[in-house]
Each structure stands twice: as C-alpha cells, then as structure tokens.
A and B are shown apart, each in its own frame.
Chain A
Amino acid sequence: MRIVYCILILSGLLPVASMGVASLKSDNKPLLINGAGASFPYILYSKWFLEYRKINPGIRINYRSIGSGGGIRQFLTGTLDFGATDVPMPKEQIQKSKKEILHLPTALGAVVVSYNLPAVEKKEIRLTASVLANIYMGKITKWNHKEISEINPDIALPDQNIVPVYRADGSGTTAVFTEYLAQFSSEWLQKVGKGKSVNWLTGIGGKGNEGVMGLIRKMPGAIGYVAMSYAVNRQLPMAEIQNMSGHFVKASTHTVKTSAQQILEKTNDLFHPLTAVQGTDVYPMSSYTYLLVYKEMTSDKGAALVQFLNWYLKNGQSFCESLHYIPLPSLVIQKVKHRVRSIKVTNDDRKT
C-alpha cells in the first residue's frame, strides 16, 4: 500500500518536476518549427531538415507525414507553422482562411505507368490517354486489344487479361493521373472524375505506392501508376506516354523539368496542371509538391522559416536527384524566390 501511495505522489509531482527542468533548459533550446502534411515529399523534407540543422543548429524543423488533408486542416487551425500538400488547396478553403496563404513549390514528382507483362520482357510499351482511360473504364480488357497493338507495332502483346490497379488511398499521384486522363477524355471526367480519390469503375486498389507496387509485381497482366521513384528503385518497366502533340515520351528528370518550365512560360501560373504540354521532350504526367506558409508571420519563427525557404531554393535542390525527386527548373526557382521575398515578418508582440 505504501508503495502505491509513493507511486501516486510521485506521478503527481512528475509533471511539476519536468516543468522545472524544462524552464531551466529553455535558454539554449533550439527554435522549434512544426510542419506536417503530404507523405510524397517526406523523404526529401527529412533530408533537407537534417542537412539544414547541420548548418543552422539553432533551428529545428519537425515534419510529420500525416497526409495533405490533415496537414491543411492543422495548418488552418494554426497548430502548425507550415503545411505541405501535393495538390493546391481548393479555392474555397483558401478563401475561408483569415490570413493569406502562399503555395511554394519545393520539387517536382512524376507519375509513371508500370505493368507486369513477362511476355514482352523489359520492352517499353507505348500508351495513349484514350487507351489508359478505356483500360480503367473496363472497355479494354485484353493486352492484345486492337487499340494497344496499333500503337505498339513492334511488340508482340500476349492474349492476357488486363488487371487495372489504382491507389485506393487519397493521393496526389491519383490526382495527376486522373488530371491527365480527364484532359483527353470527357467521358472519363463524367464517369470517374479527377482528384485525390475518384470513382473507380473497375480494377483493384492498393494502399500507398508500395501497395500498388506489390499488386503489379505479383499479378501477371497488371497495369498501374506509381510515383516515379518507386518504379526506378524497383526497376519496373515504365510505359512511354503520349503527350498533347502526339509524341511518346518516357519519364525522366529532363522531360519533367522541361514540361514544368514550358507550362510556366506559357501560363505564368504555378498552379496550372503540368499535363497539357507539347513537344518531343516533355512528359505529361507530373506535378509540383508545395509547402504552405502564411504571407504574414511573426518574428523568430517567421524569420527562421524564411531563412530556410531561401536555403532550399538555393542549396536544397541538389539533394533532389539522389532521392529520386525532380529539382525545380530555374524559371520556377526565380518565381518562387520572388514569392518568398513577398513574405512579411513582423515582430512578435508577446516577446517585447
């Protein structure tokens, strides 16, 4: 019994004691900046924050990959200093916010279409938007269907069932894929839709890139879309995708970078989907991933965050490629830098 009392008393004292310790330490505690959101850029961001801490030990940035939706919600309620999302925030949500929000592209990601066809080995098959749309709407069910073999005259396609695989969890990957298909097929837009989770008509859903990956690898005849880094890492075949001018293009750092540059030159808009690209060297399925920050921030944290934003635009981009992300083209960097410059940092009233 005495032991129970002791435990009870101690457990009551513990928070008080730890508070005392914390207040003693607070003088040399690093400045903590909290962020959360999309899971796609998690690996890149963790690397950045780790590297940045080496340069600037006074600032510690935490990032949790809880998904874009959760990141935006917590960012809007003010729990977070910055958010992260793969898809720009919906307009009505931006309007609802009291403070002005800036979207800052940090890197590019490509979506690739992969497949499991032992019969064609490692040959890259070519696919158009209409073929992909018809496969995912259940209209093309065999690999040797006329529409596929017409655009792949050199490849002997087998008489095998196609198993379409999609991302079952809401994700920016799905948003890019459906954006590309919806642009070419109005039927797709009507029946399936576009966005992070849509109304799939047929096929099997996997959870996460690794779930889709696993399904493709384990099911002969399967076709699916994943983030490019996953396909590169596991050496899965990647289809050549037809862009708006009719060229079949393979995803690579170069082709994605060029398409982002092209879209920005054409539209001067960092939110425009990167799917409507033309030329021999531009890949039509890619997107930015964004950091969300408030345009007006208070000092200490605000200044530190702006410092970091400048760092990632200047030095951070070099980490992208080794982690299979695609760095921003120079024109985009210029434009984002301009945006970062527009951030106003005011002094925190509570501190003075």
Chain B
Amino acid sequence: MIEKLNPIFVFSFFKKKEKKKDIHAQDRFFYFFLKALSWSLIFLFFYMLFVIFQMSWPAFSHFGMNFFVNADWNSWTQSFGALSLVYGTVVTSILALLLAVPVSVGVALFLSELAPNWLAKPLSFIVEMLAAVPSIVYGLWGLFVLAPLLRDYIQAFLSKYFHFLPFFQGPYYGVGMMCGGVILAIMIIPTISSVCREVFRTIPKSNREAVLGLGATRWEMLKIAVLRGSSTGIIGAVIMGLGRALGETMAVTMVIGNAPSIKISLFEPAQTMASILANQYAEADNELHLASLTAVGFTLFFLSLIINILAFLLVWKMKRSTTGISSTKRFSSASRGPSLSGLDYTGKEKKE
C-alpha cells in the first residue's frame, strides 16, 4: 500500500507506460486518485478540528472546564458557559426524535411494504421533497403558522389537562422549545424515512415468504421479518436524523425564542448551540465573546462526534448479540445486512 503512494512509484509507472501499454494503468491511476480524495477528507476533518480548537482556545483557557458547566451566557458581564445551550440543543433534538421516529418508520413501512405501486412512487417523491425545502422557509412557516397553531390548540390543551407534568407548565407563547422540536421533527422525517425504506428493501423476499409460510399475519410478518431484521439499519437512520437535528440552525433560531436558560417546561424559550452562533457570531466584536462562540462550535462538533461513536457501538453490539432471524440472514443473498449508513443496500460483498 505504502509503495503505491511513493512518488518514485508514480514516476516509474509513467516510465513504464512509454515502453509498453500497461492495461492496468487506468485502474491504478483511478485507485490512486480516489485514495487521495479519501485521505484529503480525513485531513480536512482534523484540520477543521484543529482550527476551531485554536480559535476557541482563549475561551477555554479563560473559563477552563467551567465553560461546560456554567449555564450563564452573559455578553454584558463577559461570563460565558455552554451548559444552557447544550441543554437546549439536546432537549429539542430528543423531542424531535420522539416525534419523528415513529412517523418516519411508519411512513417507510407503508411505502415499502403496504402501499400499491401507483401510490408509493408519488408519495415517496413528496416525502423526499420535504428534505429539499430550505430551512429558512421552515423557520418562517414555523414562526407565522406553526407557533400560533401550537399556542392556540396544542399548548392550550396540554396546559389545561396535563399541567401536573412539569413539561407543560407556565405561560405559553407558541414559540419555545416545543415549537423548535416540532419543526425539527418535520425536517428530519424525510431523512429518516427514506433511509429506513432503503433498509427495508434489503430484507430478502424469501425472509418475508418464510415468515408468512409459518402462518404469520401481515403485521407479524412486518414485525418479525422486516422490523427485527433491520433494527441496526433503523438506528443508523435515526442517527442521521439526529445529526441533522443537532446542527439545524435557521429554522430553530426563528422559533425557539432565543433565551439561553435551563427550564423544564417545554413551553419556555431556549437557545441551541447552532442558533446562538447564527445570532451572535456576525456582530461579536469582543475577543472573548468571539472565542466563546467558537468554543460553542467546538462543543457542538464534539457532541455530534460522541453521539456518532455511541451509535456505532450500539449498532456493533446489536449486530453481535442478535440471533435467530439474523442467523438466517447470514445465508441469504444479503449476507452483510444493512450497514450503519443504510446505503450499503446492494447486497453485494464489499470486498472479494
């Protein structure tokens, strides 16, 4: 591998070409080219990490570890802490997942298993179109349409009948953590459902037929053959959705109320890491303020990294511990099963 990257090798490879036509030259060139591209991505990742860390260093050295446990974001007294922002980000993202995952898995099941072909095609097209709507459009729609709707109907209802729960207490204005979560849910549904659909497609037909042959009803077949067999793939899809929810900026900024504080009630305004960057970065003219904002960016970077690693471990553990249906899968044509990204759905082996 290493000598292929060696410039001498490249040189000799050109020299050889002069002597006689090397029929594998194109292959090697292509391999080299793609390899360079992949490495440049890895390099880019670490370079970004380095630059962000370097820019946020003044904040880390000034506040130390306090930066992560301080819930105060006060640009007047120059006291900056990321805790309330982390809280806002995590709560809205979890809320979005709670709302979006059942809907997306349901939509994916319907489209891939139940819907007739004439309906499935246009419907899945429309669901995927939702992903193409710019986020500022979602944001303005959320501010002008969704927030008043939430306030007048859903929050009024929750506040009346469920006010014993700490999540639904206090005055409600429409905008706030709940509105942010709902907007995010709508935005990540197309992502999760389209990946889930691809995952369901990788389940071989013979699995379904076998379960049906054992006398299962349609629902039991979906449960045993489709859902259970693709659980790792579904988790992969959920993580993709979560990634989008964590980093979503404009739509959330418009509807979350932008108040960096930690409150239990979902009616209260909050602030996410991405939205405070969108709000304050352009106008920050103070060194420490700017560094703290960059440090928030670094924290967000790190948080999504941790979540991705956890998801990877979860998928890995599930793959190892699942028995039964997955052991039959091992002998089927889709021997590898759906991968984390859910994109490896061709059923072919990656490497011979």
B143 touches A214 (CB 8 A): yes
The reply on A90 being an interface residue by CB < 8 A is yes
From A43-51, A201-209, A261-269, the one touching the partner chain is A201-209
Q: Which residues of B contact A170 (CB under 8 A)?
A: 75, 279-280, 282-284
A211 and B140 alpha carbons, distance in the complex (Å) = 8
Count of chain A residues near B, Cβ 8 A = 37
Contact mask for chain A residues 12-24; partner B; CB cutoff 8 A; 1 contact, 0 none? 0000000000000
Q: Which residues of B contact A68 (CB under 8 A)?
A: 282-283, 285
The reply on B247 being an interface residue by CB < 8 A is no
Closest to B269 in A: A204
B257 touches A72 (CB 8 A): no
Q: Which residues of B contact A198 (CB under 8 A)?
A: 75-76
A197 touches B144 (CB 8 A): no
Count of chain B residues near A, Cβ 8 A = 34
Question: Which residue of A194, A206, A219 is within 8 Å of B258 (Cβ)?
Answer: A206
The reply on B321 being an interface residue by CB < 8 A is no
A214 and B171 alpha carbons, distance in the complex (Å) = 19
Closest to A192 in B: B76
From A122-130, A161-169, A224-232, A270-278, the one touching the partner chain is A161-169
Assuming the A-B contacts A66-B282, A169-B283, are A218 and B258 also in contact, with contact meaning beta carbons closer than 8 angstroms in the complex? no
The reply on A158 being an interface residue by CB < 8 A is no
A211 touches B254 (CB 8 A): yes
B175 touches A207 (CB 8 A): no
The reply on A69 being an interface residue by CB < 8 A is yes
A171 and B147 alpha carbons, distance in the complex (Å) = 25
The reply on A67 being an interface residue by CB < 8 A is yes
A67 touches B148 (CB 8 A): no
The reply on B26 being an interface residue by CB < 8 A is yes
Closest to B257 in A: A204
Q: Which residues of B contact A196 (CB under 8 A)?
A: 283, 285
A69 and B124 alpha carbons, distance in the complex (Å) = 44
A170 and B74 alpha carbons, distance in the complex (Å) = 12
Closest to B250 in A: A207
The reply on B186 being an interface residue by CB < 8 A is no
How many whole Å from A119's CB to the nearest CB in chain B?
Answer: 18
Tell me which residues from 127 to 171 in chain B have a Cβ below 8 Å from any Cβ of chain A. 140, 143-144, 147-148, 171
Question: Which residue of B254, B259, B280, B285 is within 8 Å of A90 (Cβ)?
Answer: B285
Question: Which residue of B76, B144, B171 is within 8 Å of A199 (Cβ)?
Answer: B76
A197 and B278 alpha carbons, distance in the complex (Å) = 13
The reply on A279 being an interface residue by CB < 8 A is no
Q: Which residues of B contact A163 (CB under 8 A)?
A: 173
Contact mask for chain B residues 174-211; partner A; CB cutoff 8 A; 1 contact, 0 none? 11100000000000000000000000000000000000
For the complex with contacts A197-B283, A198-B75, A215-B175, 5 further pairs of A-B residues with Cβ separation under 8 Å are A168-B258, A168-B271, A193-B76, A204-B176, A205-B257
A interface, CB within 8 angstroms of B: 1, 4, 66-70, 72-73, 89-90, 93, 161, 163, 168-171, 192-200, 203-207, 211, 214-215, 218-219
A-B pairs, top 9 by smallest CB distance, nearest first, are A193-B76, A67-B282, A170-B283, A205-B258, A168-B258, A169-B279, A199-B74, A204-B257, A69-B283
